[in-house]
Structure 1
Amino acid sequence: MRIYQEADYDAMSRRTAAIIAAEVIRKPDCVLGLATGSTPVGAYRQLAAWERGGLLSFGDVTTVNLDEYRGLGPDHEQSYRYFMRTNLFDQVDIRLERTHVPDGLAADPEAECRRYDALVESLGGTDLQLLGMGHNGHIGFNEPGPAFVRETHVVDLAKSTIEANARFFAHRDEVPRQAITMGIGTIMSAKRVLVAVSGADKAEAVRKAFCGPITPEMPASILQLHRDVVLVGDVAALSGLREAGVLQ
């Protein structure tokens, strides 16, 4: 695992964007696995600025997103399709037909999960999978539990996840209680995994994920078994790794 320790959120975002941009330049028709939430917003903003400046193009890139809330359509302001269009897709030259997000309104969610796994497999997996990390160690919406779930699946969101996401909704009761998420096996099939973390509130999760035992109670800990992981974090988020002696 390679670790980049950056001074603050802005520096973390630039480093994250640079790694993604390098993949796009190296392989213009690459498959990017993308994440939502507050952490990658700065990186997406930087990528859009570089694209506008003519430094890279997303014209041949294909994207697959990690997850989507069940019950939210693509035009709902809190859906992850809407998030991606607002923060990246509508800001760059990517072709929307090459962007993929699970269908939160699918009449048969189990069939949608199977379709999504088949899609990722048909693309040969992702060349680079961007991940954030929840306070409880979730990646995508793979919550702590008794076992790792390999396939894309419907998940009941943990109370801590609902509370963390409530700030994006007018009222806590509006936060969906379920989501469709890529499974651990789908995530681990990526050729490279890029984990971006920011803030002191993520320090304990980062320490447990990369210094503790591999357990489904800490979903991100499975990344210890991946052959190519890059961790980018600010000083605050990586403080637990410094305490554990992993970083100076």
Structure 2
Amino acid sequence: MNIRIFDTPHEAGVYAAALAEHIIKNRPKPVLGLATGATPIHFYQALVRLHQYGLDLSRVTTINLDEYIGLGPSHEQSYSYFMQKHLFDHTNILPDHIHLPNGIATNLEMECNRYDGIIQKNPIHFQLLGIGVNGHIGFNEPDDLLQSKTHVVRLQLETVKSNARFFNQIEEVPKKAITLGVQAILQSEQIVLMAFGPEKANIVAKSVLGNVRTDVPASILQLHKQVTVVLDRESAKQLVDEYGNLRTELKRMDNS
């Protein structure tokens, strides 16, 4: 596991986009697993800039992590709308290369199976992740057992409250979502986990330094051979010593 700490989220986003660029330029058919929310916006801004300066994204296939159930693509808080606004409308990624779960599918079980089929045909080379304040990745919430495949999840109250800032009122926040399972995430060739702000410091430390446990879903990333954790100084506070240097045990991990 590699830990990279930056002064600002903007700098962190530029670094994460550079990691994606390496995959895009060195794979004939690169597949990017993508996330939504406030954190990855910095990544998308940097990737759009790279495209504006000549990075061709026409060979890229994208597979998003999740989608709210009950929100169609035209809803301003759907993740489909988010992706159009922050990435797809500004690049040459082909429409038929873009994949998101259908939050208004009439048969959700069939939709989950359909999405697993897409992932099987398009193994993910670069998986971008954020992390919830409760440690969720995608919408894989803390539980006694983490689901391996794409599934419907009931969002925990903590997640609903956190996401309420994007809606007019908390009652408007969907209570269910479709999300990739942990198997698809762990099968990705490379994973980049991004986190910013002091409210993420505790869960980042639990995920990186603590034991692998299902009530901290992000801790399962410790089992992956190529994970880069991209942080700002606020979210990294519990990973550094009094001088601001990476803690000794993390240095060993970073160099392994």
* TM score, norm. by length of structure 1: 0.96
CA distance in 1, matches of 2:183, 2:3: 23
- Note the C-alpha offset of 1:96: 1.1
Q: Distance in 1 between matches of 2:73 and 2:158?
A: 25
| 1:157 pairs with 2:155 | yes
Following TM superposition, where does structure 1 have runs of at least 4 consecutive aligned residues deviating by more than 6 angstroms? none
Deviations 1:55-106 (A, max 9, x none): x111010000000000000111000000000000111111011000000001
Distance in 1 of aligned mates of 2:197 and 2:160: 19
SS in 1 for 2:93: coil
Paired residue for 1:189?
187
Residue 221 (structure 1) aligned to one of 192, 199, 219 = 219
Q: Output the CA distance in 2 between the equivalents of 1:240 and 1:106.
A: 42
Q: Which residue of 2 aligns with 1:126?
A: 124
Match of 1:2 in 2: 2
Within 5 A, what are the aligned runs for 1:78-89?
A: 78-89=77-88
2:238 aligned residue (231, 237, 240):
240
CA displacement 1:155-194 (0-9 Å, x = unmatched)? 0001111011101111110000000000011111101111
**1:94-139, Cα deviation, whole Å (9 max, x unpaired):** 101100000000101111111101110011x200100000100000
Structure 1: tracts of 5 or more residues without a match: none
Task: State the match for 1:206 in structure 2.
Answer: 204
DSSP-derived class of the 2:184 partner: helix
Q: Distance in 2 between matches of 1:42 and 1:157?
A: 25
Mapping for residues 1-248 of structure 1, pairs under 5 Å: 1-54=1-54, 56-123=55-122, 125-243=123-241, 245-246=248-249
Deviation at 1:246, TM superposition (A): 4.2
Is the 1:103–1:112 Cα contact (8 Å) retained in structure 2? yes
**Counterpart residue type for residue 231 of structure 2:** G
Structure 1 contact 148–216 (Cα < 8 Å) conserved:
yes
SS at match of 2:5: strand
**DSSP-derived class of the 1:185 partner:** helix
What is the SS of the residue equivalent to 2:229?
strand
The AA in structure 2 aligned to 1:49 is R
5+ residue gaps in structure 2?
A: 242-246, 252-256
Q: Please give the TM-score of this superposition, normalised by the length of structure 2.
A: 0.93
* 1:202–1:166 distance in 2 versus 1, CA, 3 Å: same
SS state at 1:231 partner? strand
The amino acid that maps onto 2:225 is R
- Do the aligned partners of 1:32 and 1:129 also contact (CA within 8 Å) in 2? yes
Percentage of identical aligned residues: 42
- Paired with 1:114 and 1:245, the residues of 2 have a C-alpha distance of 44
| CA distances 1:11-35 after superposition (whole Å, capped 9, x unpaired) | 1111111111221112252000000
2: distance between equivalents of 1:25 and 1:246? 34
C-alpha contact 1:133 1:139 (8 A) present in aligned 2: yes
C-alpha contact 1:199 1:236 (8 A) present in aligned 2: yes
Question: How many residues align structurally?
Answer: 246
Alpha carbons 1:12, 1:198 under 8 Å: kept? no
